Amino acid sequence: DVKVTQSSRYLVKRTGEKVFLECVQDMDHENMFWYRQDPGLGLRLIYFSYDVKMKEKGDIPEGYSVSREKKERFSLILESASTNQTSMYLCASSGDGALSGYTFGSGTRLTVV
Amino acid sequence: AQSVTQPDIHITVSEGASLELRCNYSYGATPYLFWYVQSPGQGLQLLLKYFSGDTLVQGIKGFEAEFKRSQSSFNLRKPSVHWSDAAEYFCAVSSRQAGTALIFGKGTTLSVSS
């Protein structure tokens, strides 16, 4: 069964910490995405990547960066975590743009205290 | 800029009744259109998608959606709702251009009453 795996299901971090959220896919997909999900706001795109070492800003990139050194791994980095970054973070991948739809990971619920 | 509107934040439907969830989009051209479902504590699952051709598309779990270009809508329907359909539903759009990402609506929460 194909998968998008997010390394942590729950994380608690302190304000000011540098936080790494990891996402790995085993489908050889070119495209990978990071969204955050908040009640009443739906899913908002943070960053995406359509190739190794390539990245594009989404709608809310401020306070975040990403890294894609290998095709299967896409990391989201919170440079200095703040309480307003407390959220559910969802990673997704797709092989041919949107044509086949996205495969989502189970999410990481991050709490910044 | 492209956007997706789901006008209903929360809908309650009786088990066995029909369901329609609304979705309107704003886009320069006909986009790709999707519906996803998220059950409590679960990830997102693709219900159905529209790219071209027949404007009525069938999906999993007995869902269907109809694309209406004149109304910029892509409403999701199910003729008879089951209690297990209680979940959050997201409409999403994507450009047909490579290198773009899905844009999601804010979601509609469906509750099913017995």
Q: Domain range holding B96?
A: 3-113
Tell me the average pLDDT across B19-33: 89
Each domain of chain A, given as residue ranges in start order, spans 4-94
Q: Which value, to the nearest 10 degrees, does the dihedral of the CA atoms of residues A22, A25, A28, A29 take?
A: -80
Task: Return the closest-CA partner of residue B107 out of B1, B8, B3.
Answer: B8
Residue B109 has pLDDT above 70, yes or no: yes
CATH code reported for the domain at A4-94: 2.60.40.10
Other beta carbons within 10 angstroms of residue A12's beta carbon come to: 10
Q: What is the DSSP string of A46-108?
A: EEEESSTT--EE-S--TTEEEEEEETTEEEEEESS--GGG-EEEEEEEESBTBTT--EE---E
Residue with the larger pLDDT of the pair A61 and B96: A61
In the chain, the amino acid numbered A27 is M
Could you tell me if A56 lies within 8 Å of chain B, comparing CB atoms? yes
Q: Mention every residue, 6+ apart, whose C-beta is less than 8 A from residue A74.
A: A23, A25, A32, A33, A34, A49, A66, A67, A68, A91, A93
CATH number at residue B68: 2.60.40.10
Residue of A nearest to B42 (CA): A106
Asked if A103 and A4 count as a contact pair (C-beta separation under 8 A), the reply is yes
Determine how β-strand A73-78 pairs with β-strand B108-113.
Answer: unpaired
- Which residues on chain A are in Cβ contact (under 8 Å) with B34? 98, 101
Tell me the average pLDDT across A59-72: 95
Q: State whether A40 and B106 contact (CB < 8 Å).
A: yes
Averaged confidence pLDDT in chain B: 92
Residue among A33, A100, A104 with most chain B CBs within 10 A, to mutate: A104
Interval B46-82: pLDDT, tens = 999 998 888 999 999 999 999 999 999 999 999 999 9
In the chain, the amino acid numbered A23 is C
Interval A70-83: pLDDT, tens = 999 999 999 999 99
- Which residues on chain B are in Cβ contact (under 8 Å) with A104? 43-45
Count up the domains in chain B and report the number.
Answer: 1
Could you tell me if A50 lies within 8 Å of chain B, comparing CB atoms? yes
Tell me the average pLDDT across A73-97: 93
Interval A8-62: pLDDT, tens = 899 999 999 999 999 999 989 989 999 999 998 999 999 999 889 889 999 999 9
**CA–CA separation, A90 and B107 (whole Å):** 15
Phi, psi of A31 (to 5 degrees): -105, 135
Q: What confidence category does residue B99 fall into, taking pLDDT thresholds of 50, 70 and 90? A: low
Asked if B113 and B10 count as a contact pair (C-beta separation under 8 A), the reply is no
Residue with tokens 């908040």: A38
**CA–CA separation, A76 and A65 (whole Å):** 6
